[in-house]
Amino acid sequence: MIVLGIILLLIGWLAHISILVTIGIIVLVIGLVLMLLGATGRAVGGRKYWY
């Protein structure tokens, strides 16, 4: 999800499409939050591990 956010952010920035930049930032932040929750050992979405 972090990689997808970075890709959307870059494409939106290079193509000057503001909606892609906005979506990229949102997806990037959600990915970082999920990564931090997973790193602390908390269950995310009712599951402890995501495969």
Domain boundaries of the chain, sorted by first residue: 2-39
What's residue 46's pLDDT?
66
Q: What whole-number distance in Å separates Cα of residue 4 and Cα of residue 28?
A: 7
What's residue 48's pLDDT?
62
What's residue 40's pLDDT?
79
Regions of the chain where pLDDT drops below 50: none
Q: What whole-number distance in Å separates Cα of residue 6 and Cα of residue 18?
A: 14
What's residue 49's pLDDT?
61
Q: What whole-number distance in Å separates Cα of residue 10 and Cα of residue 33?
A: 20
What's residue 27's pLDDT?
95
CB 50 within 8 A of CB 34: no
